[in-house]
A and B are shown apart, each in its own frame.
Chain A
Amino acid sequence: MTEQTRRSFLGGLLAFGTSAVGALLAIPLARFSLDPLWRTTSDVLWSDVGPAADFQSITAPMKMQVAIEQRDGWRKILSEKPVYVIKLNGGAPRVLSAVCPHLGCSIAWSDTKGQFVCPCHNGVFAADGTLLSGPPPRGMDQLEARIEGGKLQVRYQYFRQLVPTREVLA
Chain B
Amino acid sequence: MAAVVDWFDRRTGIRGLLHQALDEPIPGGARFAYVFGSGLLFLFLSQVLTGVFLALYYVPSADHAHTTVAYIVKEVSSGSFIRRLHVYGSSAMIVVLLLHIGQTILFGSYKGYRELLWLAGCVLFALILGMAFTGYLLPPCSIRGRRTLARSSTTRRATGPRI
Complex Cα distance A27/B82, Å?
11
Contact between chains at A32 and B76 (CB < 8 Å): yes
Q: Name the contact of A28 in the complex, choosing from B57, B70, B75, B81 (C-beta under 8 A).
A: B81
Top 5 A-B pairs, shortest CB-CB distance: A74-B71, A28-B78, A31-B78, A31-B77, A32-B78
CB closest chain-B residue, reference A34: B77
Shortest A131–chain B CB gap in Å is 43
**Across-interface contacts of A29 in B (CB, < 8 A):** 49, 53, 78, 82
Complex Cα distance A28/B72, Å?
13
The interface size bin for chain B is 10 to 19
The interface size bin for chain A is 10 to 19
B 76-100 to A, binary, CB cutoff 8 A, 1 in contact else 0? 1111011000000000000000000
Q: Check: A33 CB closer than 8 A to any chain B CB.
A: yes
Majority secondary structure of chain A interface residues (helix, strand, loop or mixed):
helix
Shortest B21–chain A CB gap in Å is 12
Count A-B contacts at CB 8 Å. 34
Contact between chains at B77 and A32 (CB < 8 Å): yes
Contact between chains at B76 and A35 (CB < 8 Å): yes
Contact between chains at A33 and B53 (CB < 8 Å): yes
Contact between chains at B79 and A74 (CB < 8 Å): no
Q: Name the contact of B82 in the complex, choosing from A1, A11, A28 (C-beta under 8 A).
A: A28
CB closest chain-B residue, reference A27: B78
Contact between chains at A35 and B71 (CB < 8 Å): no
Q: Check: B68 CB closer than 8 A to any chain A CB.
A: yes
**Sample of 21 A–B contacts (CB below 8 Å):** A1-B2, A28-B78, A28-B82, A29-B53, A29-B78, A29-B82, A31-B78, A32-B53, A32-B76, A32-B78, A32-B79, A32-B82, A35-B76, A35-B78, A73-B71, A74-B57, A74-B64, A74-B67, A74-B70, A74-B71, A74-B75
